[in-house]
Structures are given as C-alpha cells and as structure tokens.
Amino acid sequence: MNDKEASSLGTHKMFLPIFIAVAIALRLYSASISIRHERSLKADGAVEHGAANTRLLALAHVAFYLSAFAEGLGDPHPFDAVTVAGLVFYAGAMVMLAVVVRLLGRLWTVKLLIARDHALVTHPLFRLVRHPNYFLNILPELIGLGLVCHAFYTLAIGLPLYLIPLVIRIRQEEMVMSLTFKAY
C-alpha cells in the first residue's frame, strides 16, 4: 500500500463513523416526524392498512442499515469514487425525502394511513413518479448507504430481500389509494 492509499484508507476510517452517526440521526429525525403525524392522524380517525407489512418493512430497513454498517466497519476501504458515488446517492435521497415530506405534509408517515379528510396530492412529482418516496428516497438511500460503506454483500443480498416487503407495500398502497380516490 502506497502513502496515498494509506491516507485514503485513514480518511475513510475517520469518515465512516461520522457518516453512520449522521445517517442514524437523519433516520431518527424522520421517524419522529412520522410518529408525530401518525398520532395526529389516528387521533382524527385515520385508518391504518398493511400494519404487518409496515413492521416487516421497518425491520428490513433497520437490518439493511445494521448490515451495511457492520460490513463497512468490519472491512475498511479507502475513501474513493465508490464512496463519493454513495454520498451523492444518499444526499439526493435525503433531499427527496425532505421534498416528499413537505409535499405530503401531515399525511406523510412510514405507515399506510388514510385520513378521514385525506386529499389526493396531485403535485407534478407524484404524476411523474408514482411513488417518489420509494423510488427517489428509499431505494437511492439504501444504495447510497451500501456504496458509502462498501457493503457489497449487503447490497447483493439485502437489497433484493428488502424489495419483497417494499413491493408488497407498493401494491397495498395502490389498492388502498385506488379504492379511496377515483382520480387515482
């Protein structure tokens, strides 16, 4: 290993714990928003759908994060183009999360809830991408996390496994929304 490679490896060893702390903090913050919205919606009579799958999806999300963290910390890699690509994916995903939360407002939760006064959000983003929270936030987030951590086993095994409850969620959401809104 030359001096440049050693320096890059040292940089990634210092960077990765900071990235992990930031990623955890962002997810805890978004969870707190979801919980606040959920409590308010349920107090106003919202109905939850697909609760068992929501728990499975949350478990899959936590498992993916923990696996990527373990893989990244257990087998350190240099701060390289893969790390940078992961950061770009992850940062873009977090921006999209903020956009989706803003557009959905009090209706955004990690659960599939239909409020008594639920209004269909018709912003162009939702017409362009049917499920922006899943396709522009969650999937790029997981890919970015895996790349930053150089967690290729997690990406190769964990991402396909994650897709199982995610596809179920999308199908559940499609069904509930089409039954609730004629314009959907």
Closest listed residue to residue 33, CA positions, set 98, 104, 97, 109: 109
Q: What is the mean pLDDT of residues 144-162?
A: 98
Kindly tell me if the per-residue pLDDT of 22 is higher than 70.
yes
9, pLDDT greater than 90: no
- What's the residue count for the chain? 184
Residue-wise pLDDT for 95-105, tens only, equals 999 999 999 99
E strand residue ranges, the chain: 47-49, 112-114
pLDDT of residue 50: 98
Global pTM reads 0.92
Please, what is the average pLDDT of the chain?
94
Assign 11 a pLDDT band (cuts: 50, 70, 90).
Answer: low
108: left (phi over 0), alpha (psi -120 to 50) or beta: beta
The DSSP secondary-structure symbol of 82 reads H
Rounded to an integer, what is the distance from CA 172 to the centroid of its chain? 18
Cα–Cα separations (whole angstroms), residue 64 to 4, 20, 89, 119: 31, 13, 16, 33
